[in-house]
Amino acid sequence: MAFKNLKEITPQKVAAQLKKGEALHLLDVREPGEWAEGHIAGAKHIPLGQLVERQQELDPAQETIVICRSGSRSGLACELLGEKGFNVVNMTGGLSAWTDKLVRD
């Protein structure tokens, strides 16, 4: 699989858009233990390994920002979803580069 996702966004830009009250569709593809340690409020959680079987939970026409810890798994998720016609954007740097608050539930 050759990485060919064209759309990327920085964590700082995502945080700024959320602070402005923009309604973003966020997809976190990290593992359950990572999710429990903290995630962005309002993000949907589908671990990368479950993405293919749970893709029907996502709207292909809606822009979805995909998140992981470093930007690598989210890049793979973007490629998988992009090949299926989804409108996806990879958050470069992942939550390792996130400086805003995270929530735990």
Per the annotation, the verdict on 68 as an active-site residue is: yes
Selected catalytic residue, list 68, 77, 89, 95: 68
Contact 66, 35 (CB under 8 A): no
Q: What are phi and psi of 36, to 5 degrees?
A: -65, -30
Contact 16, 97 (CB under 8 A): no
- Catalogue the active-site residues: 68
